[in-house]
Amino acid sequence: MHRSTIYWFRSDLRLHDNPALLRSAAESQQLSCVYLHDPAQDAEVCHGFRRMGSHRRRFLADGLANLASRLASLGQRLHVLRGRPGAILPALAAATGASHIFCEEIAAPEEQAELEALRRAGLQVESFWQSSLLDPADLPFDIDAMPRVFTAFRQRIEAAGVTPHTTLSAPSTLPPPPSSWPALSQAICLDASSAGTSIATFLGADEAAADDPRSAFPLRSAAFAGGESAALQHLAQYFESDLPQHYKQTRNGLIGTTYSTKFSPWLASGALSPRRVHEALRAHERRLGANENTYWIWFELLWRDYFRFLHRQHGSRLYRAAGLSQRSAPPHDPVAFRRWCEGRTGEPFIDAAMKELAATGYLSNRMRQNAASFLVNDLVCDFRAGAAWFESMLIDYDPCSNQGNWLYLAGRGTDPRDGRRFEPLRQAAMYDSDGAYRGLWNATC
């Protein structure tokens, strides 16, 4: 038992199915709950836009406010601090007398480097892998020998009958916070009395535009707000409905809130555990029946795991210009890239997608594929610039899924077809035959 520890929330903004938090609570007499906002998120990347755009800031602010109120119901407080982990956490540990830091493990290189910096600073860091559907220890292969192609990965898992672990309940009690807390600049404490507004201001989320009524993920409405409460409610509603019974048929839709599950923003911020999604899926299947449509939700969640495990396997190699290929650095055209970001390519199907993305922070999987292919194959731009724009814009930005999908489409990952070109006219004819999607987003320009 430690006298005092710090729980560092990362992309796991939840109390349910959070093994790291439970362990931290079980081993501590006093617990400090913190979330860090890295100033690098406020800086411009080399392409001239902020690393974290306004939609994700808004979703994150709501998620943190919700987490704070759930912690407050257990007598805890959430402290949100601005700074780099390697600079802030050692000072905080010294000030609170904390011997250990508990947190989740994230396979992406920057997130790994954060933990290394803490360990170099002499801190005892206990990190737990808890973001995937399947436990890496249950995989029927060593991570170093993971099948390179997704289909083989999935088939090996299914043949071995690997299933996710049962989820853990949220803690019913937590150790109290330390009686005194150091005075820190660049910090706010979210307790029971603080409203979402202060955290929104702190994160610079205030400037986010009001919800666009056309949004497929209207994050300003309570049903689509950031945080565990809305996530669990959405999960329950989705699986109580018969939408999963048609998922495979509707998932390539482009308009509206119901064509796909819309779980991704909550999964990416960790407000929702993928294992909890799986339990709800199986309960739905017991009630309404299992079929190809419900199977396809499992199938898509396996894609998410695949990119996570790929990061465990290859780490920073995935962030080289060549990715996993032998290809030379991709060409880039900054002017064409800017036109793509702004939805001014002149190709109405792609422009509609880019306008939707900028206006709402969300884009269907179909249009992400089209937009990415167009940038790489038609505009002959660097996929890394596209990945950076998606990172800035997407409310569901997740390093593993984003980098993995971009590499895949750019032919620098694990696609056996060596890259994919989506022909916009053909795609528009297949998925927007009546022009409703193009009309919806291009009408105002």
Contact residues for ligand FAD, defined by CB under 6 A: 251, 260-264, 267-268, 297, 300-301, 303-304, 307, 364-365, 368-369, 372, 390, 394, 396-398, 401-402, 405-406, 409
> In the bound complex, what is the minimum distance in angstroms from residue 396's beta carbon to ligand FAD?
4
Q: Rounding to the nearest 10 degrees, give the CA dihedral for residues 191, 194, 197, 201.
A: -60
Considering the complex, state which of residue 88 and residue 134 has its C-beta at the smaller distance from ligand FAD: 134
Which tokens in the block code for residue 352?
């509609």
Kind and range of the H or E run holding 427: helix 424-431
Shortest Cβ 340–ligand FAD spacing (Å): 13
CA-wise closest residue to 261 among 226, 216, 222: 216
Q: For 169, which DSSP code? A: P
- Select 65 or 297, whichever has its Cβ closest to ligand FAD: 297
**CA atoms in the 13 A half-sphere facing the CB of 335:** 0
The b/e string for 232-255 (b: 16+ C-beta within 10 A; e otherwise) is bebbeebbeeebbbebbeebbbbe
Least Å from the CB of residue 84 to ligand FAD: 22
Q: Which two tokens stand for residue 273?
A: 């555990």
The amino acid occupying position 412 is R
Closest to ligand FAD by CB, 125 vs 387, is: 387
Question: CA-CA distances (angstroms) from residue 301 to 134, 294, 298, 359, 430?
Answer: 10, 11, 5, 26, 25
What is the closest distance, in whole angstroms, from the C-beta atom of residue 23 to ligand FAD in the complex?
A: 25
Smaller CB separation from ligand FAD, 200 or 231: 231
In the complex with ligand FAD, which residue's Cβ is closer, 202 or 374?
A: 374
In the complex, least distance from residue 245 CB atom to ligand FAD, rounded to whole angstroms:
14
The least CB distance from residue 279 to ligand FAD, in Å, is: 15
Between 384 and 438, CB nearer to ligand FAD: 384
Rounded Cα gap, residues 239 and 286, in angstroms = 11
Residue type, 96: T
